[in-house]
Amino acid sequence: MYTIAELTNMISTEIGQIRYKAQPANLYTPIQYILSIGGKRVRPLLMLMGYNLYKEDVSTIIPNALALETYHNFTLLHDDLMDKSDMRRGHATVHKKWNENTAILSGDTMLIMAYQLFNQGVENNEARTAFIEATIGVCEGQQFDIDFETRNDVTEAEYMEMIRLKTSLLLGYALKIGAILGGASTEDIHHLYEFGEKMGLAFQLQDDLLDVYGDPKKFQKKLGGDIIDNKKTFMLINAFLRADQKQREELHHWVNSTSCNEEEKIAAVTHLYNVLGIDQLAKQKIEELFAVALQSLDKVQVAEEKKAQLHAFANQLLERKY
Amino acid sequence: MYTIAELTNMISTEIGQIRYKAQPANLYTPIQYILSIGGKRVRPLLMLMGYNLYKEDVSTIIPNALALETYHNFTLLHDDLMDKSDMRRGHATVHKKWNENTAILSGDTMLIMAYQLFNQGVENNEARTAFIEATIGVCEGQQFDIDFETRNDVTEAEYMEMIRLKTSLLLGYALKIGAILGGASTEDIHHLYEFGEKMGLAFQLQDDLLDVYGDPKKFQKKLGGDIIDNKKTFMLINAFLRADQKQREELHHWVNSTSCNEEEKIAAVTHLYNVLGIDQLAKQKIEELFAVALQSLDKVQVAEEKKAQLHAFANQLLERKY
């Protein structure tokens, strides 16, 4: 069984060894660029770890794992274009460094390359079907996210379903596909999926929490971004639910104000979150989801020492130090 | 063996029966829209015809055929966005009817749906690999087409390679995949691909020719569009090659002029084409390619009466009345 560090190294090496055609250079250079600027490689790592619970030699499924990472980076490329984001992981986004049409077409080509890579891996129809399901679900999640921007009546359940599709589905499917390819039982496949999905939900809620309460030195994005964008997060939705009439009016004021001082808006909304105990509510929800994730992992019928690595990884992802 | 009309009806019916999820509606409605506004369904038709040369019951490969049509319409959706075209087949394009982000994300989802449909058809790794090759090649062709917009030294060979990738590759692969799924020999698969590819090249050159010399009542686009856009077609490239110094200067004048009268530009460039015999040169090239296509069809080892239908289809596609 490989350690997390060994698997991470293996993935980095393999990503660096993907061979691109020389021409058309304007198509392939942006793909190579976005795949080279890093990231935690969480999805291929989860796939290899899921597989490694059942089979030793992960080398045969490397193409499948690279397919997931390629797909994930395709979504970042097109999402950044749709969101008009200028930076990603400290580097210029593809549509800023090149142009919008390059971002569209290189993204499309990455999506195809993902299926090409998957097809070069182990041939397994169940795994292939799962991969396609996952990739279509992420697009649905992105559409809900876009739809929510212009809605003011998004419920907590709708928000949770959106982040399930957009973020945690692919984490769950990474483990699921790894387990399928490793020959796991139907039950194990299900529990590993659930573990990944719930861990993903906890991860996204933590990201929302850190967007408000994070350490500016550690958080990779600018703090308060969700507040400025009026993102209907778990936190904002619950703030509206818990607010009394005066507080609700104040929240409405900030959400509807288009030309206010950003620092002032962040401070005011954060203050309301503090008063309403939204930080505690979010932390509690994260703990709940994390506990459910671990319960699912617990049900997986492999040796405890093998599962310990996935547990450790979840702690690491959620930056838990215990 | 089915007639062309029967197969066309079958495809139309099946496209109408594709079931879309109700939500997110903003994701699936544009997909349904673009697939419903028509088109000649050439690619699924060629796939079914290729298959029908070897096997009678085409129903099992309908999903594969729909995959090709879905993929083709995805390319139209994203190409129209990249080209900023307002109309497609007499209807508003998706980015005009909705918006650019909808066009990006619905297009992405269509691309995934294409693989999903293909995966629902007959399971055959050779066919799947061929489908992926075709879809990546079309993107490469689109990139070359974009690259050529800002180049003035495009050669005839480069132009032919661009249209091969962008247009004729998928026609060749449609036949190829049909033949693979029908159990054809390696030789037959090769010859059918060649037939489709060369027919596709002839078709594209004819489209270029009709853009200048077409009957305004029959040609679906506005005449002279390529001349206005300074598209480096077979015709413009050869006009530059055949021109004497004075004619070359005149061509340069029109290609470089940014604010001229459109009708005047079309008339002047067409006049130069006439003088230089570019229309005859294009017709000759089309005939040559068509002849090579038919030679390939001739080599396919199935009964003549079966192949007659593909010959008739090629005539129909190239609007030949003999």
> Are A24 and B144 inside 8 Å of each other by CB?
yes
- Domain span holding position A228: 125-322
| Residue B321 maps to a domain | yes
Mean pLDDT over each residue of chain A, to the nearest integer = 95
Q: What is the pLDDT of residues B24-35, one digit of tens each?
A: 999 999 999 999
Cα A154 to Cα A211: distance, rounded to the nearest angstrom: 20
Across the range B247-253, mean pLDDT stands at: 96
Output the six-digit token pair for A212. Answer: 């408000």
Q: Are residues A202 and A105 in the same domain?
A: no
How far is Cα of residue A47 from the mean position of the Cα atoms in its chain? 14
Q: Which CATH number goes with the domain that contains A88? A: 1.10.600.10
pLDDT at A258 (0 to 100):
77
Q: What is the pLDDT of residue B59?
A: 95
State pLDDT tens for residues B278-300: 999 999 999 999 999 999 999 99
Distance between CA atoms of residues B276 and B247, nearest Å: 9
Given this model, what pLDDT does residue A218 score?
A: 77
B320 pLDDT band, cuts 50/70/90, is low
Measured CA to CA, the distance from residue A306 to residue A314 in angstroms comes to: 14
User: Do both A136 and A264 map to the same domain?
Assistant: yes
Q: Give yes or no for residue B258 having a pLDDT over 90.
A: no
Angle at B88 between CA B83 and CA B90, to 5 degrees: 145
Are residues A238 and A109 both part of a single domain? no
Q: Is residue B146 part of a domain?
A: no
pLDDT at B294: 97
Contact yes or no for A235/A282 (Cβ under 8 A): yes
Among candidates B23, B27, B140 on the partner chain, residue whose Cβ is nearest the Cβ of A24? B140
Show which of A77, A99, A123 is a domain's final residue: A123
User: Which of B24, B81, B125 shows the shortest C-beta gap to A104?
Assistant: B81
Chain B positions with Cβ closer than 8 Å to A: 21, 23-24, 26-27, 78, 81-82, 101, 104-105, 107-109, 111-113, 115-116, 119, 123, 125, 128-129, 132, 135-136, 139-140, 142-144, 146-147
In this predicted model, what pLDDT tens digit does every residue of A49-77 receive, in sequence order?
A: 999 999 999 999 999 999 999 999 999 99
Supply the pLDDT for residue B322: 46
Confidence of residue B221 (pLDDT cuts 50, 70, 90): confident
Q: Do A108 and B108 touch (CB under 8 A)?
A: yes
Secondary structure (3-state) at A121: coil
pTM: 0.96
Residue B44 has pLDDT above 50, yes or no: yes
Burial environment of residue B112 by CB neighbours within 10 A (0 to 12, 13 to 18, 19 or more): buried
**Inter-chain CB proximity A111 and B111 less than 8 Å:** yes
Residues A272 and A170 in one domain: yes
| B168-179 residue pLDDT tens | 999 999 999 999
Contact B119 A109 (CB under 8 A): no
Where among A60, A90, A123 does a domain terminate?
A123
Contacts of residues B272-279 at CB distance under 8 Å and 24 or more positions apart, as own/partner, are B272/B239, B272/B243, B272/B247, B273/B212, B273/B235, B273/B239, B275/B247, B276/B238, B276/B239, B276/B242, B276/B243, B276/B247, B277/B242, B278/B235, B278/B238, B278/B239, B278/B242, B279/B209, B279/B212, B279/B213
**A99 CA to chain B: closest CA distance, Å?**
11
pLDDT > 70 in chain A, percent: 99
Of the candidates A129, A132, A139, the beta carbon closest to that of B108 is on A139
In a domain, B288, yes or no: yes
* B196 within some domain: yes
Inter-chain contact B104–A112, Cβ cutoff 8 Å? no
Residue A101 C-alpha, separation from nearest chain B C-alpha, in angstroms:
6
Task: Kindly report the nearest CA distance between residue A196 and chain B, in angstroms.
Answer: 23
Residues A113, A255, single domain; the answer is no
Question: Does one domain contain both A107 and A173?
Answer: no
Q: Please check whether residues A251 and A175 belong to one and the same domain.
A: yes
Size of interface A-B (CB pairs under 8 A): 92
> Does the structure show a pLDDT above 80 at A190?
yes
How high is the pLDDT of residue A322? 46
Residue of B nearest to A114 (CA): B132
Is pLDDT of A92 > 80? Answer: yes
**Cβ-Cβ contacts under 8 Å, B142 against chain A:** 105
Nearest CA in chain A to B83: A101
Let me know whether A80 and A193 are in one domain.
Answer: no
**A contact set with B (CB within 8 A):** 21, 23-24, 26-27, 78, 81-82, 101, 104-105, 107-109, 111-113, 115-116, 119, 123, 125, 128-129, 132, 135-136, 139-140, 142-144, 146-147
Co-location of A55 and A189 in the same domain:
no
Q: Tell me: pLDDT of B117 over 50.
A: yes
Window from A9-18, A42-51, A228-237, B251-260 with minimum mean pLDDT: B251-260
Residues 6+ apart with CB under 8 A from A145: A162, A166
**Are residues A152 and A278 located together in one domain of the fold?**
yes
Whether residues A70 and A147 share a domain: the answer is no
Q: Find chain A residues with C-beta within 8 A of B144's C-beta.
A: 24
In this prediction, residues B44-56 reach a mean pLDDT of 98
Q: What band does A321 get if pLDDT is binned at 50, 70 and 90?
A: low
pLDDT of residue A216: 81
Kindly report the three-state secondary structure assignment for every residue of chain B.
CCCHHHHHHHHHHHHHCCCCCCCCHHHHHHHHHHHHCCCCCHHHHHHHHHHHCCCCCHHHHHHHHHHHHHHHHHHHHHHHHHHCCCEECCEECHHHHCCHHHHHHHHHHHHHHHHHHHHHCCCCHHHHHHHHHHHHHHHHHHHHHHHHHCCCCCCHHHHHHHHHHHHHHHHHHHHHHHHHHHCCCHHHHHHHHHHHHHHHHHHHHHHHHHHHHCCCCCCCCCCCHHHHCCCCCHHHHHHHHHCCHHHHHHHHHHHHCCCCCHHHHHHHHHHHHHHHCHHHHHHHHHHHHHHHHHHHHHHCCCCHHHHHHHHHHHHHHCCCCC
Pair A132, A118 in one domain:
no
Instruction: Using an 8 Å CB-CB cutoff, list chain B residues near A82.
Output: 101, 104-105
Average of pLDDT values for B211-216? 90
The Cα–Cα gap between A304 and A294 comes to 12
Selecting from A23, A104, A119 the residue whose C-beta is nearest the C-beta of B128 gives: A119
Which of A105, A123, A141 delimits the end of a domain? Answer: A123
Number of domains in chain B: 1
| pLDDT for position B275 | 97
Is B171 inside a domain boundary?
A: no
Please state the rounded mean pLDDT for residues B47-61. Answer: 97
Confidence check: pLDDT of B70 > 70: yes
B255 alpha-carbon distance from chain centroid? 26
